[in-house]
Structure 1
């Protein structure tokens, strides 16, 4: 009986497993039974034929036990077909393939999760991270048959046309006898349109500016249509007519009630300041409440009085420009009143401070402060407020049209100043009544409401003065324009 050839042991370059193959399989392509990867069998050690023969005898005994009719001669004649034996006509010899030495790609398998990755020869000897389990995979040199040339994308693969829609040819237009007729009609229509007079393109304008311009034009047109003629006696005719409006009465009553609460809070903070610890604590609370309520009240009152002035200047008897519930909108309008009052009293206060620094007694200081401030409110405040409203800026105390009105409507300015003395005097009298009857709550409430009415009447008269100044300046402008036109015609 012939002895089988001795076996060789090879190491798989992929999984490093040690495998046994017949000696005839040396330097041929074999498959690893562990990782199922093909590689070239390079022998490392040889196994003696005795070991193989002993194992073969055990196999023969087992086969005889399972099959009593086992024929050993047929089993010995079986041979393993190797790639080197494939040289017959039935098994032709494989063609030699060019082995890539550089610039090739191959695949590696993650030993943890089995994910297959495509790498190139530049990563040999390095580790790559598995995208699934994030474990490191060491890249080793692949066998020649696993190396493949890199595939470069074609131009058609970069055009994002996965379905080849761009290559579809346009369907041919079916010819029809009516096409020529339609084309002739379209050509004639284009000629007729070309003969028409071209229309100048509309000037493009920003939508926001266009809307603002249209709103201003509409407001001016509405004011011109609804504004009545100035009464012959503007400071007597219809001056108190605004007080019969229910909305105005309700607004003034609410303002008077809030003013009454403000005065009571101020009085409570003063009277309780000289008491014990508990009274002083109540004084602090009253003071905080008075400051907060006073800030809101003064701002709302300023906006309300400004609305009375503007509606009166526009010829309205029913006041409509009352402040809304948004407190932030009040600040911009109230700034006109605050700025006018500050500019009116600042010269007198500054002069009083200078006199006090020189060494004048306190009586002179208070006389200049109170007297000068009252005179500034009486004379300067109306001019400053109307000028700022005309210029549209609370920091512009002088306006050219209002300066012209001092000459064109000086009688109206004089009449308003005389009436202002009476109104301010009435307000001072109400203040004296408040001091004398400070313990009577009903009297204090009545004084607060009447004081609000007096202030509203003052701004009503100031609105009539603004109306007179506007009419006088407008009449003067019309006269100058007519004179200029007449001079041009005569020339």
Structure 2
């Protein structure tokens, strides 16, 4: 079918070699031309005849159109205008067919298998809906199966605070009951402590001092922590000294870091044992009624009492060392040799005051208590006896450790259990001192919260 438009004036084609598009007038059809790009000679073909586009079959017959604005009927009206179709299933192959109401009672031939099936109206489906229940026969809910109210979520910090408060109240009830006022509570606790004590002793700093240290809870903790201290000391000795090679230097640094980490863990665990011995001895007990907790976080809090008190006690020791250095410059250089000894003695004199003050006031930052300071004057003989015993203890432990280390390097490992046992006895004496001070004055030593 040719186009009905005017004939074309130009013909276009592509070069048969390079594909360059060339255009010429119709009068040059059949002549030869040379491609300007590649030089190939081509024959000019006639122009292509454009054929008319055939009309799609869908455009013939009844056409669908779009509804105008607000002209479309409602969906219910459109459904109502549709013819009613009756579903019919082939009685042989069950092919689903549809027929109109005018075909009721006639035979419908299946398009798949050719079997004829009678067209009939399908049975009415029962209406769906709730089934009524006679009065008095309704379902009854069990009151016991009613859901409980959902618990209100609490932050972890609030929950831990409640648990510790409950533990503190239980401990206070065990020690002597609780009361709204502070004075009656302390009086009841004092009576309860007196009931839990062994037979009263006249000299707490002398009589039955090792009794608590020989009990099973203390011996087990002494053995475990002594072995732990030997391990820490071994790692520390490996990390000290001169490096023979680069590999040795790297290994020394690793051992030193491991010894520091294990040392911090050991100090936290030992602080819990020291504090338990001190507070139980201050209550007049010869055994642990409230052993240390297994919570590492609580160990860190208890260790702060000893660390802060030790640092605060170093202040007078540093002043004594500086004074001895100035005296050595003005008097004699030999006086400077006494500086470390006097500084260590000053630290040993100040540490008991600092740790008892912090426990008496219930805060590790309160390193001085007026009541403890006053007891240095009112209970001077008791303090002097305590200082004499602790000086002898520390001197004996130091001398024994030096002797063991000097005999053989392997015997030096035995110095760790000896020194740790000396610290347990030291805090046992400190607790007995606090007990005697509480009997002579109004000082009350509380456990770390």
TM-score (norm 1): 0.50
Summarize deviations over 1:105-131 as a string: whole Å, max 9, x none: 99999xxxxxxxxxxxxxxxxxxxxxx
1:464 is matched with 432
- Does the 8 Å CA contact 2:328/2:336 hold for their aligned counterparts? no
- Between the two proteins, the alignment pairs up a number of residues equal to 286
Question: Matches of 2:164 and 2:302 in 1, distance apart?
Answer: 23
Q: Residues 211 and 454 (structure 1 numbering): CA distance in 2 closer, same or farther, change over 3 Å?
A: closer
1:343 is matched with 312
Question: Matches of 2:164 and 2:348 in 1, distance apart?
Answer: 41
Q: Residues 404 and 36 (structure 1 numbering): CA distance in 2 closer, same or farther, change over 3 Å?
A: same
Deviation at 1:320?
4.7
Summarize deviations over 1:40-92 as a string: whole Å, max 9, x none: xxxxxxxxxxxxxxxxxxxxxxxxxxxxxxxxxxxxxxxxxxxxxxxxxxxxx
What stretches of structure 1 of length at least 5 have no aligned partner? 1-17, 21-31, 40-103, 110-206, 477-491
Deviation at 1:435?
3.5
1:378 is matched with 348
Q: Residues 363 and 349 (structure 1 numbering): CA distance in 2 closer, same or farther, change over 3 Å?
A: farther
Q: Residues 108 and 437 (structure 1 numbering): CA distance in 2 closer, same or farther, change over 3 Å?
A: farther
Q: Does 1:231 align with 2:201?
A: yes
1:169 is matched with none
Instruction: Please point out which of 288, 302, 306 is paired with 1:319.
Output: 288
What stretches of structure 2 of length at least 5 have no aligned partner? 1-58, 76-161, 178-188, 445-449
* Runs of 4+ with deviation above 3 angstroms: 104-109, 207-217, 227-230, 320-325, 350-367
Question: Matches of 2:423 and 2:219 in 1, distance apart?
Answer: 14
1:449 is matched with 417
Q: Does 1:309 align with 2:316?
A: no
- Does the 8 Å CA contact 1:265/1:287 hold for their aligned counterparts? yes
Question: Matches of 1:245 and 1:327 in 2, distance apart?
Answer: 24
Instruction: Please point out which of 30, 34, 41 is paired with 2:64.
Output: 34
Deviation at 1:298?
1.9
Deviation at 1:270?
2.2
Deviation at 1:376?
2.4
- Does the 8 Å CA contact 1:266/1:286 hold for their aligned counterparts? yes
More helix, by proportion:
1
Helix, strand or coil for the counterpart of 2:441? helix
Deviation at 1:385?
0.5
Q: Does 1:437 align with 2:407?
A: yes
Question: Matches of 1:408 and 1:343 in 2, distance apart?
Answer: 24
Question: Matches of 1:358 and 1:414 in 2, distance apart?
Answer: 27
Summarize deviations over 1:392-451 as a string: whole Å, max 9, x none: 011111223323433443322121111111111112213322441352x2x223322121
Q: Aligned-residue CA RMSD in angstroms?
A: 4.0
1:473 is matched with 441
Question: Matches of 1:229 and 1:402 in 2, distance apart?
Answer: 26
- Does the 8 Å CA contact 2:317/2:344 hold for their aligned counterparts? no
- Does the 8 Å CA contact 1:404/1:473 hold for their aligned counterparts? no
Helix, strand or coil for the counterpart of 1:300? helix
Q: Does 1:218 align with 2:182?
A: no
